[in-house]
Amino acid sequence: MISEQLHTRLLENLSTAIILLDKQLCLSHINAAAESLLGLSGNRHIGEPIEKILIAADSTIVTLRETLDSGRPHTRREAILTTTSGGKIAKTTVDYTITPIEDIAGSALIVEVQPIDRLLRISREETLFSAQESTHALLKGMAHEIKNPLGGLRGAAQLLERELDNDELKEYTQIIIDEADRLRNLVDRMLGPAKPQNLSSTNIHEVLERVRQLTEADAGNRISIIRDYDPSIPNFTADPERLIQAALNITCNAVQALESKPDDGHKAIITISSRVIRQFTIGGHNHKLVCRIDIRDNGPGIPYDIQDKVFIPMVSGHASNSGLGLSIAQSIVNQHQGLIAFTTDVGDTCFSIYLPLEVSG
């Protein structure tokens, strides 16, 4: 007969998060992996109803009761578990399986929880990289097809202008030349900047301070900018001017979003923060140290219908926006072997720039 003590030791040494519930759906045991995942101490919550531990978990409670009543296991994919840890609300995306049990004293259900946030993030990153590469390849082909006839058109207009004696007619040829140049510049902007040329030892906070100054000069007193920097971030090799451009493109978008924000009595705020992340995967490559820059605003959020397309050129939620800023920013960060990702909701949109602090050759 296996003792209850051995059961407990087995549960505690599993890397899978395990929660045991009684027939009243009160917590009877939680292992170390589950404590870490949910950010709580099991000893303090033993005997508490599960609805006091998980916030806004109505659908989960229904599934638990159905499992109790039917006696059949249930599995949920990509469920959101919401908890409070240290006074802060935390959300975790998980897969979980609920299984009725009879042989563990005091328990009626065993809940196995697998966090999948990291897997989902890696999947989203791979999709972003793939979409960026496909878009860039398409634009390169389109640029070639557009630039060739534009060059011929411009050259023909210049030759025609030389043959004309009438200044009024020359105005028309000059319009042709100017518009051909404008279209060429637009195509070049859509392609994004070339590879970084001015690589040097870069202090990311000097970059962010320059971005803050430029943003404040543009927004004036309409928007407050809050800084939350990690001074321990070391210098790394980068093109600081290009990084300024990338971050500035994001803050400019934030300013536009905040200016369209309904007057709800709350101050428009942009928060710029920096942190170091260890052992972080970008595009399938694991990096020992990564600098994460968060640019967060409390605007209305990104419209749902363009959330999957924000890094595609010419896509914008603002009529006055060319839709090139985020595409160019992503290209710049990609050239530094990094990535830009985002989360968005009403009142909380955050663009995160991930930059490896060690760059391979």
CB atoms within 10 A of CB 88: 8
Q: What is the pLDDT of residue 122?
A: 72
CA distance 49 to 290: 40
CA separation for the pair 117, 80 (Å, rounded): 10
Burial class (CB in 10 A: 0-12, 13-18, 19+), 162: exposed
Question: What is the H or E stretch that residue 187 is in?
Answer: helix 167-191
| CA dihedral (141, 142, 146, 147) positive or negative | negative
pLDDT for 105 equals 57
pLDDT score, position 204: 96
pLDDT at 9: 67
Contact at 8 Å (CB) between 59 and 35?
no
Name the residue among 190, 333, 311, 195 with its Cα closest to residue 253: 311
d(CA 269, CA 279): 31
The Cα 107–Cα 289 span in angstroms is: 43
Q: Residue 77: name the closest of 60, 52, 58, 61 by CA.
A: 60
E strand or H helix that includes residue 35: helix 32-38
Q: Which of 106, 19, 25 is nearest to 68 (CA)?
A: 25
Residue type at 320? S
Strands, E, within the chain: which ranges?
17-21, 27-30, 74-85, 88-100, 109-115, 200-202, 224-228, 236-238, 269-282, 285-297, 339-345, 348-356
pLDDT at position 205 is 96
Non-local (6+) Cβ contacts of 87 within 8 A are none
pLDDT profile of the chain (361 residues), mean per 10: 59 79 88 84 81 82 89 88 71 88 72 84 73 72 78 88 86 89 78 73 96 89 92 94 93 89 80 93 85 94 86 66 78 89 90 83 42
Measure the CA–CA gap between 244 and 204, rounded to whole angstroms: 9
Residue 181 is predicted with a pLDDT of 86
pLDDT score recorded for residue 152: 87
Is the backbone of residue 89 left (phi > 0), alpha (psi -120 to 50) or beta?
Answer: beta
The radius of gyration computed from the CA coordinates of the chain, to the nearest angstrom, equals 27
pLDDT tens for 170-188 read: 888 898 998 888 888 777 7
Q: Write down the pLDDT at residue 360.
A: 43
The per-residue pLDDT for 203 is 96
pTM above 0.85, yes or no: no
Strands 269-282 and 224-228: parallel
Taking the C-alpha atoms of 342, 185, 208 and 311 in order, what is their torsion angle to the nearest 10 degrees? 0
User: Contact, 163 vs 136, CB < 8 A?
Assistant: no
57 near 82, Cβ under 8 Å?
Answer: yes
pLDDT for residue 6 = 61
Q: ∠ at Cα 351 (255, 240), nearest 5°?
A: 85
**Cα 80-68-50 angle, rounded to 5 deg:** 45
Q: Are 33 and 48 in contact (CB under 8 A)?
A: no
Tokens encoding 128: 């972003």
Question: 155 Cβ partners below 8 Å, 6+ apart?
Answer: none
